[in-house]
Amino acid sequence: MRAFADEVTAREAERAVGPSERRGHDLGKAWDGLRFLLERRAFPVDLVHGEEGLPGAGDWGYGAPRVLVPERVRLAADALADLPFTALLGDVTAADLARSEVYPAGFWWDDESALPYLSAHHAALAAFVATAARYRHGLLVWSA
């Protein structure tokens, strides 16, 4: 399974792939910031870490991969559609992320770039999840 995931990632890196064709999505440095903000809003799906274990999968970097079944992907897509970044962020500042030791802590001290970076990743994640939900796909989630 890991070899297949790596192959898909490599193929998408080799050529420009439109959003509707993407089979993978990388949160980059935004993963923990989004996790922090989604947890604060009691988001109903764990998009950052996944929910169900993948039987027989070993450690892929920072633990074993996890799965979101299609029904949970649909729930996540609907919830993200109703949660614009300004609502997700609320009154949180980049300094709040740094003080909360959200990874990578040093990154969040710069309000000028950190929050727009998170906003862009929120929008890209929402689009990716919406596409997966439209095709009734599940998601394989892991940290590498």
Q: What is the pLDDT of residues 54-112, one digit of tens each?
A: 888 888 888 899 999 999 999 999 999 999 999 999 999 999 999 999 999 889 987 78
Q: Which of 104, 83, 86 is nearest to 30 (CA)?
A: 104
* Mean pLDDT, rounded, for 36-47: 97
Instruction: Check if the beta carbon of residue 8 is closer than 8 Å to that of residue 24.
Output: yes
Q: Which of 84, 86, 81 is nearest to 133 (CA)?
A: 81
pLDDT higher than 70, residue 7: yes
Instruction: Check if the beta carbon of residue 10 is closer than 8 Å to that of residue 99.
Output: no
pTM, full prediction = 0.90
pLDDT at position 19: 61
* Amino acid (1-letter code) at residue 96: D
* Mean pLDDT, rounded, for 9-33: 81
The sign of the torsion formed by the CA atoms of 23, 29, 30, 35 equals positive
* Mean pLDDT, rounded, for 14-31: 81
From CA 118, how far away is CA 31, in angstroms rounded? 9
Q: Between 12 and 128, whose confidence is greater?
A: 128
pLDDT at position 126: 96
Question: How far lies 112's CA from each of 8, 17, 27, in Å?
Answer: 34, 29, 19
Mean pLDDT rounded to a whole number for the chain: 90
Question: How far lies 92's CA from each of 44, 54, 55, 63, in Å?
Answer: 20, 34, 37, 29
pLDDT higher than 70, residue 20: no
